[in-house]
Amino acid sequence: GDSVTQMEGPVTLSEEAFLTINCTYTATGYPSLFWYVQYPGEGLQLLLKATKADDKGSNKGFEATYRKETTSFHLEKGSVQVSDSAVYFCALTDAGNMLTFGGGTRLMVKP
Amino acid sequence: DVKVTQSSRYLVKRTGEKVFLECVQDMDHENMFWYRQDPGLGLRLIYFSYDVKMKEKGDIPEGYSVSREKKERFSLILESASTNQTSMYLCASSSRRIQSNQPQHFGDGTRLSIL
């Protein structure tokens, strides 16, 4: 079946540092890929998405590129802020309506 | 913007009680989902629904049931609450009319404690 693997956290960075959170997937079809963010005490918010190979999703300074050859969708941001501290989930949906989630990566940004 | 509203942010109930968690979405989405989120276990799908009066079991349906009498409302029911059902519950919805592989939109979650 489909699966998503993302790096375990927590990831601790200083403000303005460069962020990469790795995500790789396995899927039988042609999935759409997503990054969700969960701020403390809240639900999940869609951060960005990509629906086909080589698509780049971007939002709020975050970017991720759909790499079919490496089955990856790594999340990057050039300069993180304290307000980016949250849990980040990589996910895919394949040929339908079901989401497969990674385990989540907690990001902590220190001033 | 899609709005998914869960009726309570925090809820405290006692063992053996029947508990209702309500979720409403305002975007005429066909699909609705209930997840629970626990530390170290990520998000796990309890039940989902593709349409009114339709329901399908997810990965962990035991101890739960659902109701979808109207398109915009999806209720999760704990028939007889137990302490191992203490968790964060997340509702989500998505559309499948336009094209497949649409993202799910989540509510803010209900943190349920069973004493």
Contact A89, B43 (CB under 8 A): yes
pLDDT (average), residues A75-104: 91
Contact residues on chain B for A96, CB-CB shorter than 8 A: 96, 100-101
Of B33, B96, B101, the CB nearest to A32: B101
Taking 70 as the threshold, does the pLDDT of residue A56 lie above it?
yes
Indicate yes or no: CB of A97 within 8 angstroms of CB of B31: yes
**Above 70 in pLDDT, residue B101?**
no
Distance CA A93, CA B104 (A): 10
Q: Find the farthest-apart pair of alpha carbons in chain A and give their distance in angstroms, rounded.
A: 42
pLDDT at A44 > cutoff 60: yes
Give chain A's mean pLDDT: 93
Neighbours of B72 (CB within 10 A): 17
What pLDDT shows up at residue B40? 81
Distance CA(A78)–CA(A64), nearest Å, equals 12
Across the A:B interface, residue pairs with CB atoms under 8 Å apart total 56
A82 Cα to chain B: minimum distance (Å): 21
Residue with tokens 């709005």: B3
* CA–CA dist B48, B55 (Å, integer): 6
Residues in chain A closer than 8 A to B104 (CB atoms): 46, 93, 99
Please give the residue that has the higher pLDDT: either B14 or B27: B14
Query: What is the structure's pLDDT at A14?
Result: 97
Q: What is the mean pLDDT of residues A31-46?
A: 92
Number of alpha carbons in the 13 Å side-chain half-sphere of residue B15: 4
Instruction: Point out the residue among B48, B94, B100 whose CB comes nearest to the CB of A95.
Output: B100
Rounded to an integer, the average pLDDT of A23-47 is: 91
CB A109 within 8 A of CB A13: yes
Asked if the Cβ–Cβ distance from B42 to A104 is below 8 Å, we say yes
Give CA–CA dist B19/B83, Å, rounded: 12
Among B52, B85, B66, B33, smallest CA distance to A93 is for B33
Report d(CA A53, CA A71) in Å as an integer: 9
Specify the pLDDT at position A30. Answer: 83
Would the pLDDT of B99 be above 60? no
Among A34-48, A64-78, A91-105, B26-40, the minimum mean pLDDT is found in: A91-105
Q: Does A77 reach chain B within 8 Å, measured CB to CB?
A: no
Question: Please, which pLDDT band fits residue B96 given cuts at 50, 70 and 90?
Answer: confident
Pairing state of beta strands A11-14 and A105-110? parallel
Whether A78 has a pLDDT exceeding 90, the answer reads yes
Quick check: A78 and A61 in contact, CB under 8 A?
yes
Among A104-108, B62-66, B94-98, which stretch is predicted with the lowest mean pLDDT?
B94-98
Task: Please report, as a single letter, which amino acid is at residue B105.
Answer: H
For testing contact with chain B, the best of A32, A36, A39, A44 (most B CBs within 10 A): A44
